[in-house]
Amino acid sequence: MDRTTQLGVNHAPDEIRGFSVAAGLVGLRRVMSLCWMASAAFGRSLAVSGAIWLVGPGLGVVPRAMEGVRNLAARRRELALRWSGVEIPGPPGPPPPAPEGASWPAARYRWIMSDPQTRREWVWVLVDPLAGALLAFFPLALILSGVWGVFLAFFGVPLSVEWDGLWYQFIPVEGQATAVLAGVLGVLQLPLALWVAPRAVRRHALYTRSMLAPSESELMAGRIQHLATTRSEAVDTQMAEIRRIERDLHDGAQARLVAMGMTLDAAEHRLESDPEAVRALLAEARESSSKALEELRDLVRGIHPPVLADRGLADAVRALAMVCPVRTEVHVDLPGRPEMPVESAAYFAISEILTNVAKHSGADRAWIDLRYDRGMLRITVTDDGQGGADVSRGTGLRGIERRLATFDGVLAVNSPVNGPTMVTMELPCVLPSPKTTSS
């Protein structure tokens, strides 16, 4: 997931050392795709420029054209990371929405330029067909030139006569000797191309980063935006929770206690006259009291489950698994207890997912895996059900996502149709040193 952009991530890109034919060949293949992508960038740049200057339907076309550019940029970011270990941060936020009534090219141009990321991508897509292509083409040019040299070694002399003098780089091909020299030079260029190719790929990645990476302050702005959103969502969720608790108390336990008081009052009045009716009223009052207790218990369980408070996340999840209608296995590898809010968010997320599994998945079995790894609480819930779960459709999953976002956590759902469903959650947190239990 690419929702949270992290600040200051600067992976040292792998330096390339030495010479290897295999690495060279891989590099050549890569520069070839980069060249191909430069031509794609050329197409996109034409599309965007055309869309901007097109009066009339231009406004509708611009966002689509820019989307194409954004996808191309995303692909290049991915390749830079995979091929060269160069991490290029993604756009800090979505592009701004199209302005109303911007029918004139100038207005559309201003709109594109108003978002720094869009502006950067536009400049990049204009430059890449030239700069990117040159960088990527260099090793290929060496190969072509090498082949040309070898060709000249065999056919250079007659060709030189026919073309009225011929130069191979700095060698005038005049006779057999200079033709052979051109051939030798050409052959030498082939290993040079193999040596250059992986380095060109890396250079290309660095050049792409310099073109596409948002500035520190933009990343910071994106980060602030993210925090503001999650904070307001957290406040909303909390308010909704408080309202729910208030309503539950008001309609539930409180009402029952009032009813109980009235029943007891009625009993008191009939104490002398109708002892039999009093017995029934008292039984009713007791019933009310146990219903009120039951409701309070459910309420407490919904706020902060006692077993979570007592034992922490691991045992609370085991307890969930025990009562889950789907047979559930739990594996825990936690060296300590996370902070309470994180624990609680994780617990309710797992609880919600298990409810989904029991209700919708049709699964026979489920597996929960809890582990802590380098500042990250990782939770995986897998089931062998029919799959097809979708975050965008399920309000439950969306709710979990929001809850986790408050803690900078993310949720990923992998649920192919017919396939198993795997829900993964990651929550950054710190674990204190293992708690010593006093027994």
Binding site for another protein (CB under 8 A): 286, 289-290, 293-294, 297, 300-301, 306-307, 309-311, 315, 318-319, 322-327, 364, 437-439
Report the nearest approach of another protein to the CB of residue 294 (Å).
Answer: 8
Report the nearest approach of another protein to the CB of residue 307 (Å).
Answer: 5
Nearer to another protein, 318 or 378 (CB): 318
Nearer to another protein, 144 or 299 (CB): 299
Report the nearest approach of another protein to the CB of residue 301 (Å).
Answer: 7
Nearer to another protein, 342 or 354 (CB): 354
Report the nearest approach of another protein to the CB of residue 342 (Å).
Answer: 18
Report the nearest approach of another protein to the CB of residue 332 (Å).
Answer: 13
Nearer to another protein, 241 or 364 (CB): 364
Nearer to another protein, 45 or 328 (CB): 328
Q: What angle do CA 7, 136, 74 make, to 5 degrees?
A: 35
Report the nearest approach of another protein to the CB of residue 311 (Å).
Answer: 7
Nearer to another protein, 386 or 424 (CB): 386
Nearer to another protein, 395 or 438 (CB): 438
Phi, psi of 394 (to 5 degrees): -80, 120
Nearer to another protein, 223 or 311 (CB): 311
Which distant-in-sequence residues (6+ apart) come within 8 Å of 210 by Cβ?
none
